Amino acid sequence: MAQTGGTLVAVGATKKIARVDIECGLYAHLGLDIVDGVVTPSGTALPPPWSGKWSSRNLTGWDRPRPDWSRVKKTYASESPNFGDAARNGTHMHFWDREVLQHQIFEPQGMTVEFEVLQDSGGSHLAVRFSIDQLRDCEEPEFELLLLWAINILQENTGVAGVVAAGATRADYLASITLDWEIFPPGTVDEIFDRMFGGKEHVPEPEIEQIARERLRLFSRLKPIAYIRGRARFGSYFGAKFTDDLVVFENLRYGNAVYVLYEDWVEIAKRSRLDLLRDHDANLDRVVHRLGWQGRLLGLLQRQLEEPGLWPKTS
């Protein structure tokens, strides 16, 4: 930090690249290509998960076990047949508690790689500067780990890495991590969707719209008191509020899990995108999108709400 002369740093480095490597598609996953002998930039690129461990975590998040933290009690749920015959007698929920390791939850970061051609005289090599689009602040929690994360993403995808002073202001940085939460009243799936995404500037891509509508139908089964949406420059959060301290949400663009928060929502909603889930996981559950995840989510919510008979029917 003494060398950069400030608290904001950027991850980036310059590399001398053989033209033939670009022509062979070695950097195509970053949008770096050559058409008719000319390098064609395509903006930023989200590194694919196959680039490496850190690129994969960048897309899906990181559930980091912490054996150095105290164990906590977690609730598990399963559906069991009544009297051995679910088809005839229906099913019931079975809950049990276990003492488990705590996990440190890192949301998907959504870092993208940018590039700039610094020198290209048409010869066998050219100079390209690669950088990560998101800045890091030495005063943020887990600064060293998040800086290493960004460095590793650049290394996995380009083969080079470095840290330099950021050219942006602190106001620019704060704008990039601020979450703007909106609250929407209950209603039908179409009504809520229109309230959230009705404006032209809010219309999501078809796949995001499909996910949002599926989640609305799922959440509505337990009659939330409100729906929530958090917008930021990197990613968009979406969910439902069932009580003042029972909230479920997920990142619509990145990640593979739904988060259930059990307390302190008012305080958590004030946090930046980087700090949203940075605490111990004692007061939250991360429900990964695996087979049957909807049932587990509804089971966890049902137990908190103490409303019997809302367990989803099996098809």
Judge whether 78 and 93 are in contact, CB under 8 Å. Answer: yes
User: How far are the Cα atoms of 79, 97, 152, 288 from residue 301, in angstroms, in the given order?
Assistant: 14, 15, 37, 15
pLDDT in tens for each of the 315 residues of the chain?
445 456 888 899 999 999 999 988 899 999 888 877 778 766 788 999 999 999 999 998 888 888 998 888 877 777 777 777 777 777 777 778 888 888 888 888 889 999 888 888 888 888 888 999 888 888 888 889 999 999 999 999 999 999 887 766 666 666 666 677 888 889 888 988 888 887 655 667 888 888 889 999 999 988 999 999 887 655 578 899 998 889 998 888 777 888 888 877 777 777 766 666 665 555 788 888 888 898 889 888 888 887 544 444 433
Q: Is the pTM for the entire model greater than 0.85? A: no
Judge whether 302 and 311 are in contact, CB under 8 Å. Answer: yes
Could you tell me how many residues make up the chain?
315
| Span 114-150, pLDDT tens digits | 988 888 888 888 888 899 988 888 888 888 999 999 9
| Span 193-218, pLDDT tens digits | 888 887 655 667 888 888 889 999 99
Instruction: Enumerate the domain spans of the chain.
Output: 8-61+109-175, 95-106+178-305
Three-state DSSP state, 224: coil
Judge whether 100 and 81 are in contact, CB under 8 Å. Answer: no
Burial of 183: CB neighbours in 10 Å, binned 0-12, 13-18, 19+: exposed
